[in-house]
Amino acid sequence: MKTARMKVVIAFCFGLMLSASASARDFAIDHLEPASWWVGMKHSRVELMVHGNAIGPLQPRLSRPGVTVIDVQRVANPNYLFVTLEIAASASPGTFDIEFVDGDRVAARHPFRLDAREAGSAARKGFDASDAIYLITPDRFANGDPSNDSVAAMQERADRASPNGRHGGDIAGISAHLDYIAGMGFTQLWPTPLLENDQPKFSYHGYAITDLYRVDRRFGSNEDYRALSRSARAKGVGLIMDVVLNHIGSSHWWMRDLPTPDWINHGGKFAPTNHRRTTVQDPHAAPQDKADFVEGWFSPGMPDLNQRNPHLATYLIQNSLWWIEYAGLSGIREDTFGYADAEFLSAWGKAVLDEYPDFSMVGEEWSASPATVAHWQRGKVNADGHVPHMPSMMDFPVHTALRDALREAEGWDTGWIRLYEALANDYLYPDADRLVVFAENHDTTRMLANVKGDVALFKIAMAYLTTVRGTPQFFYGSEVLMEGPREREDGNIRADMPGGWAGDAKNAFTGAGLSPAERDAQDYLRRLLDWRRNTPVVQHGKLQHFAPVDGVYVYFRYDGQDTVMVALNRNAKPAPLALERFGRFIKAGSKGRDAMSGKAVALGTTLELAGDAATIISIE
């Protein structure tokens, strides 16, 4: 009898243990984001997204001097809580637990960390026209750690033989070649997104993010990314993060358990964007056309985020602030800028600049219309009332004009006149000098392909980017004449950097195996950037240009003390340039010095221009 009674007691206790264990599992915290913050931020109220099975009824609490739970928001999905913390300036750095209470019982705990800010963090200086940006696709740049090429727990494995597969480039590869990047004269590094893209295919490019707080393990770790930023900074190179506010990847964990029914536009079902970016400010646009642009999905694999949801808007703003602070960023390039909700974009930009007044951001608005691009730049007074806060925009109008100008024959309305008239639209921008100018990027054919392999024209394009107003951006590998297809094929345009993989026949980093033409092109850009870095007038001086005549386009950069003349000659043969027209800048007895050779140049009545070349002269 006694034995039987003991068995009953044991069984009862075991049942209680199982019940308690099940309860603990039921209330596990699967996600708490962000999981850390900093003492001394202006953004001192932090809304945490907390996710776990049936945690909605739980009450968060903590015991930490200087940190207070000031608000708890519950939503339709009982698996989420939105908890706002107030972090006082008196709070001390360290890790503590946030408890989630069910009645009198602590049902779950999750750690939260407060960090001290780096000295001068709020006053960090972003990129400007004194910089030169180097754009890379990390998966295609260099493979420094072959052991992470494939990760068993992730959907897509490495396949270097496929143009659209993962090739194995990573943060270790970038870090190993920082000396090359700095030695070429690039002062800012823009990698396409490095955050987790656990998609079944096409995951290499990074724009279908599945975890906004985690670096993709095939690239490395969060700490590797932060170490890259520090190492780059020590070599004089800032780190620009490619941020995506418009969409996520279809394999993001949100898609398995949406926080709210309106978290994703169109109820989480694919509905394509119409790409009609002019509808944002078109006074005649049908409201449905505008909605289809902003709310439509970029692709079936990229669910469109509804930034009108206040919790999502706060999440995205805090995510950007977190990465700036965590990784010590010097800038943000924001993807598909105009596709997101305009009111949110204004709030996001203001929040970033409130925290970091001298920070730099550049938005992507892929339009050849300067009116469309200018709408989004800080300081623009818009008829629709939109107040933008984006300091810079990618200069797609000049990008388009440059490519057209070099591809077509000279004529009354073709050739150099494209560029001349594109710059004439600078009055539309609040600050044209803050624009980022470029000839090519990861979404276009390469410039060398655009000019059908003509290296002379490619060099002219590089000279133009180096001397025109704005901040120049260059695309990895083009400095060694990577050409790629002449029609857009993204996987082949984003080809592997020569020398980034063991056994490569050519090595752009060391010069081994490069042809004389490839070495010459690389050296040409290196010398251009070195000269530019030491010539402030082409960074911040004013620009005056003269209407193209007979295939020659001339402009000057000047600041009241120094003057640089740039003459771009599209003629295959040398051409004499009469200098009388430029009397404001070239006086009788003026002397000049060639920027590339350093040789003295006679400035009499005419100047002999080399054929198919840029002539750059410092006026002395």
Single out the catalytic residue among 128, 156, 364, 395.
364
C-alpha dihedral sign at 431, 361, 164, 340? negative
Calpha distance 465→9 (Å, rounded): 82
Calpha distance 43→319 (Å, rounded): 12
For residue 47, what is the enclosing H or E element? Answer: strand 45-51
Question: CB neighbours (10 Å) of residue 544?
Answer: 14
Give the residue ranges of DSSP H helices in 468-509. 490-493
Order of strands across the sheet that contains 552-558: 542-549, 552-558, 563-569, 613-619, 591-594, 600-602
Closest alpha carbon to 252 in 320, 201, 302, 218: 302
483: annotated active-site residue: no
- ∠ at Cα 88 (316, 120), nearest 5°? 70
- ∠ at Cα 390 (385, 396), nearest 5°? 100
Single out the catalytic residue among 304, 335, 426, 496.
335
Buried b (16+ CB within 10 A) or exposed e, 201-233: ebbbbbbbbbbbbbbbebbbeeebbbbbbeebe
Question: CB neighbours (10 Å) of residue 75?
Answer: 17
Calpha distance 535→543 (Å, rounded): 14
CB 60 within 8 A of CB 110: no
490: annotated active-site residue: no
Question: Which residues on adjacent β-strands are paired with residue 241?
Answer: 332
Q: Catalogue the active-site residues.
A: 335, 364
